[in-house]
């Protein structure tokens, strides 16, 4: 389950287009705990905290600590409970103190987003008005965040620290090799993400997509790669560098959809559940969350019914339409900043 804590962000990446304000009815901390408890009882094992930018949520560390009793007991791997609590962040606010506080609270993994290795590219991809100088400032903070996370115990060699990058043709495709070099030098797995048509305001067009196979080909031409495949229910296909300098992964939601075994449930900061990143509508969980404690079972039933009835195949349908030359009207989607990616 991916749980958004806020729709706000301190950056303005044009592929995400975050809002400057939160929806009016944010979930409370108690409601978030109730929701995660119900989900874990139904079999959800992994939780990712997202935004917007989740580090803008002042109660983040307290939430992570409060989730610890929901973990599955090591001696009972088959029992309901969380196995992993992760975080996706742009890293700008990940100070030494916050990295350590999150680790102490019980966070397992951090994924940091960075779409370029120079000030001009970072400014363009992060929607910064200050140009290259502003981009350099953000870049320095994100690189420092990687250091802070590693020092706090998020070991990249164990997969506890990863680097995400959205690649768009003609915008930052020249950053493929520099990003790969950066990740190799730091021993961090780089995850390259195709530019996706999430939301209604990011100007997505098919010709802006650089296919994952092309990304891998370009990087593999410089540093030979050995394919590892995609795990069941995983979003990323992975490779290892033949010279032993770590791993590379790609998320090919556009060019190679994986709808058939997707197991993600996304819940917005105001409690609306979506069974697909490209969904046009979701199920508002607040009526159950805000009912009396005696109605707690209804929340479990609502989640179970939502999950059992899911039939999302948008990425596959898009791909089929493109391959057949069929022109379809793109349906409205929920915004990326609400769904947390």
Beta-carbon count within 10 A of 38 CB: 22
Strands (E), 74-222: 84-89, 109-113, 161-167, 189-194
Task: Tell which residue, 170, 118, 183, has the closest CA to residue 14.
Answer: 170
pLDDT tens per residue across span 139-183: 999 999 999 999 999 999 999 999 999 999 999 999 999 999 999
For helices 131-151 and 96-105, what crossing angle results, to 10°? Answer: 40
Cross-strand bridge partners of residue 241:
225
Contact yes or no for 136/119 (Cβ under 8 A): yes
Phi, psi dihedral angles at 264 (to 5 degrees): -90, 135
Pick the CATH number of 2-339 from 3.30.365.10, 1.10.540.10, 3.30.70.600, 3.20.20.70: 3.20.20.70
**CA angle at residue 107 from 144 to 157, to 5 degrees?**
60
Tokens, residue 239: 């490779």
User: Where are the chain's structural domains?
Assistant: 2-339
DSSP SS3 for 190: strand
CB atoms within 10 A of CB 311: 7
Taking the C-alpha atoms of residue 229 and residue 263, their distance in angstroms, rounded to an integer, is: 18
pLDDT in tens, 262-321: 888 999 999 999 988 877 788 999 999 988 554 456 898 889 888 888 776 656 566 555
pLDDT band at 253 (very low <50, low <70, confident <90, very high): confident
Two tokens, residue 13: 């990446």
Residue 203 makes CB contacts below 8 A (sequence gap 6+) with 14
pTM above 0.85, yes or no: yes
**112-146 per-position pLDDT tens digit:** 999 999 999 999 999 999 999 999 999 999 999 99
Residue where the block lists tokens 């089929």: 320
Residue 167: predicted pLDDT: 97
Judged against a pLDDT cut of 90, whether residue 214 lies above it is answered with yes
Mean pLDDT, the chain, integer: 89
Is residue 245 classed exposed, middle or buried when 0-12, 13-18 and 19+ CB atoms within 10 A define those classes?
middle
Could you give the CA distance from residue 148 to residue 141 in angstroms, rounded to a whole number? 10
Phi, psi of 330 (to 5 degrees): -70, 130
């Amino acid at each position: 389950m991916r749980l958004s804590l806020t729709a706000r962000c301190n950056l303005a990446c044009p592929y995400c287009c975050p809002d400057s304000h939160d929806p009016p009815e944010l979930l409370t901390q108690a409601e978030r705990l109730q929701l995660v408890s119900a989900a874990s009882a139904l079999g959800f094992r992994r939780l990712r905290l997202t935004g917007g930018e989740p580090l803008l949520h002042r109660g983040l560390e307290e939430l992570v600590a409060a989730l610890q009793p929901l973990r599955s007991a090591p001696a009972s791997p088959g029992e309901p409970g969380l196995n992993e609590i992760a975080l996706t962040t742009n890293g700008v606010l990940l100070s030494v103190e916050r990295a350590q506080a999150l680790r102490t609270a019980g966070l397992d993994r951090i994924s940091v987003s960075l779409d370029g290795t120079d000030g001009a590219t970072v400014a363009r991809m992060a929607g910064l008005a200050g140009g290259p100088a502003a981009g350099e400032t953000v870049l320095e903070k994100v690189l420092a965040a990687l250091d802070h996370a590693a020092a706090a115990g998020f070991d990249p060699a164990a997969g506890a620290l990863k680097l995400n990058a959205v690649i768009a043709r003609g915008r930052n495709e020249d950053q493929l090799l520099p990003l790969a070099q950066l990740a190799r030098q730091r021993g961090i797995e780089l995850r390259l993400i195709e530019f996706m048509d999430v939301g209604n305001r990011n100007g997505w067009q098919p010709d802006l997509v650089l296919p994952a196979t092309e990304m891998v080909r370009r990087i593999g031409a410089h540093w030979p790669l050995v394919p590892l495949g995609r795990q069941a229910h995983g979003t990323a296909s992975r490779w290892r560098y033949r010279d032993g300098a770590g791993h590379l992964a790609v998320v090919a939601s556009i060019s190679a959809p994986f709808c058939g075994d997707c197991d993600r449930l996304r819940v917005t900061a105001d409690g609306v559940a979506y069974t697909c990143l490209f969904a046009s509508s979701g199920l508002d969980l607040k009526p159950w969350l805000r009912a009396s404690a005696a109605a707690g079972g209804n929340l479990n039933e609502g989640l179970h019914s939502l999950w059992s009835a899911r039939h999302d195949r948008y990425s596959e349908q898009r791909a089929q339409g493109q391959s057949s030359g069929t022109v379809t009207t793109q349906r409205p989607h929920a915004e990326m900043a609400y769904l947390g990616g």
